Structure 1
Amino acid sequence: MDAIKSTKLEFENATGVYHGKVRDVYFFGKKIAIVATDRISAFDVVLNRAIPYKGQVLNQIAEKFLKMTADIVPNWLESTPHSNVHIGKNCEAFAVEMVIRGYLAGHAWREYKAGKRILCGVALPEGLKENDKLPEPIITPTTKAMEGHDEDISREEILAQGVVSEEDYVQLEKYTKALFNKGTEFARERGLILVDTKYEFGKVEDKIYLIDEVHTPDSSRYFYAEGYQERQDKDEPQKQLSKEFVRQWLIENGFQGKDGQEQPIMSDEFVNSVSDRYIELYENITGEKFEKSSYVNQEDEIFKAINTQLG
């Protein structure tokens, strides 16, 4: 099956390369080129199979929302020379991810179900059930691990440990809330609910920039608004657009990224179904038809696109 599992591009003037969970980052001094591969991760583990068109979906959704939110917070993106490539500023990333939740779902629900009533220093009320709307959106940061698992962390711990200065953290909270409000408003117009999402930020000199991706199915969870309340009232699963169904499939097959667990084998049929879900989200969230890029000579085309601008 055609998919971009990884890239090994050799640029004469590149100053470094970093292969993340799903992105390959090439450094050119003050600029970076990020290739959105088709790798997929869950529970902070890169899965063995790549998902066709996933990288293109993420890249194009991120571009749309980075442009849409540029009036809220400046961002790192400068150009998109290829459907899987972004080029922009090389920011020094903050060592935390700003997770914001409007509903009790995913990781937050699993913690709540296990009996926890304080998540990242935020108290949660009794009597909630999975996918309930929270009284108000809450920020539940995580550490940003280069390898291994990200860990929940509270605002108080971040400040006490000096991970982020108080002045910067206050600004990150303001940006996070404003971005979530914008994403929520846009999702509502598309008949969707933005359940939760994460934002990453960095700095160039003393200026904060929004980095990485925004409101994509890898960084966000969406429900269909139509029928949401009816499904809640009947204790039925929500119809959602996110990669949570991949996590659930892994859980059902005995894998949560824990030591000693072996990844289940993803069949071609399952891989194609995941690809279809990513394309479905793209078309629902953007209102545009997804145009599949060709995989013919894909790595050469990516190299040319980056080299033309930064070579």
Structure 2
Amino acid sequence: MSKPFIALCPEITRTNALHLMDWLEDECVIRYLSDSRHVSRFIEQVIGRVQLPILTHLFNQSGRFFMAYDRHDVPVGFVRLVKTGTDCEIVLAIGNRDNWGRKLGASAIREGMKLAFFDMRAEKLIAKIHPDNTRSVNAFLRCGFLLQGETPTLQSFSMTSARYFRLLRDNAVGHPTGIHVTESDKARLRNLVAMEQGPTVFELEHEIERAIVVDARQVARSVITMNSRALLHLNNEKVEVSLVYPKDADDSAGKLSVFSDIGTAILGYQEGDAIDWRISDQTHRIRIEKVLYQPEAAGDFHL
């Protein structure tokens, strides 16, 4: 059975808006969404007056809005993040009831945490949930949130950045596959991340922080470390690539920067691992077939 997979995408299309309207007409979906009626009317008005294919800017006026896609690139729900000061509130829904029970909600929460703590730099992430909404309560508890306060009609759960990073490093926030990086690679990558900006940087930072750190002389030969060369299956195509630092990148020669989508995706994985990763608005299946060269295995510790 495939592990649950969710990718959060910031672009909101007109078709996405129609999906949202359908979901927000389902009483079971909106039962515990406090502002669902308002949102539904807003979407209806937007579709009526704005004849644009992309509506992203309209959905981000009071926070950041993301469509949630499954591994088949089908929209299954949404996540909204609203930052006030150093705190951030998360609201989410899995819109199609056929997807309930597949743990997609927990996957969406984990992706929301990644954005809140790495991209938005929140110090605390808060979820306000009706106590009868047991699916949501259980999903947030599984992801490590703690009960912060409650009333008869509302429970407030929170995750601090310190707790999130501790759980991330302990591999306790539900990632299906662990990855390994060497101490020297992690130090160099952290320095690079500190100087970079862009949509893929927070993804790389997340991967670095969740990785299991190993000594360069003890890392398994089957692991993709920096400057390794590997044979991949990208969907159904075999591709030979080298994972390099940005200054050495050359796409025409198969030298992929660690800041590229595929470069970030394969860092730290090993032979036999398979990864679902969203690249250019499409989810790709990447399988590591063989590590052809690894600097540590070859004794090239200077690389």
TM-score, normalised on structure 1?
Answer: 0.27
Q: Which has the higher contact order (CA 8 A, sep 6+)?
A: 1
Q: Which has the larger radius of gyration?
A: 2
TM-score, normalised on structure 2?
Answer: 0.28
